[in-house]
Structures are given as C-alpha cells and as structure tokens.
Amino acid sequence: MKLEEIANKCSLQKIVLCSDDEIETGYCGDLMSDVIANAASDSIWITIQAHKNCIAVALIKDIKAIVFANNVEIDNDLIEKAREEKINLLKSDKSSFHICGMLYNLLEGNSDKN
C-alpha cells in the first residue's frame, strides 16, 4: 500500500512527505538497536523516540517512513534532517499500540499472508 494512502486511512499528520513509497510491513520499537536488528527494509516504523538518531537508523535499514506516536514533539533539527535525507515523517496523537493495530489491519489483516 502506498504511504500516502496509509497516512490518510490512519489519520496520520504528514510532517515530511518526500515520497509516496510502497509499504508492505511495519515495525514498532523505541530501542534503536532493536530496530536495527529487526526492522525490514521498505517498512514503516512506529516509535516515540523523536530525535535525529532515528534518521540514521532509518537510513541504515532503508525504512521509508517514521511515525511518531503519542503526539511527541518533533524539533526542527529532526525535520530538517529528514528532508535532507528524504525520510518521510508522520505523527499521531494515538498510542503505538493503536497505530500498529490500524497498520496491521491495512497491510495484513485481510490478506492470505496469515
């Protein structure tokens, strides 16, 4: 599913949308080493960790978008770094649990992948 469609269906606020990538899976985690070890490339990452190191992790793993949960504050340095590195940033006031549930239903809930 295209990122913009995911953003619209999940009511995610678009902070930086530089590409409408195809997203097939997601990962939820706040520990950077865990995300590096386990997130898939071309995925969407849900976290509450809103700092520039997130951009480095996304680049290492070829993660296409980061969703910040719980309405966390995103500073301008992070936004500028995301634009520079072409990493999509989205935001929600919903919890990571809620966002993951919506994404699961969109991406895998009605498929034969189960």
What CATH architecture applies to the domain 3-109? 3-Layer(aba) Sandwich (3.40)
Task: Tell me how far apart the terminal alpha carbons of the chain are, to the nearest angstrom.
Answer: 17
DSSP-based three-state secondary structure for 27: strand
Q: CA triplet 9, 61, 71: central angle to 5 degrees?
A: 40
pLDDT digits 0-9 by tens, 29-74: 999 999 999 999 999 999 999 999 999 999 999 999 999 999 999 9
pLDDT digits 0-9 by tens, 71-110: 999 999 999 999 999 999 999 999 999 999 999 999 987 6
Domain boundaries, the chain: 3-109
Q: For 11, phi and psi rounded to 5 degrees?
A: 55, 45
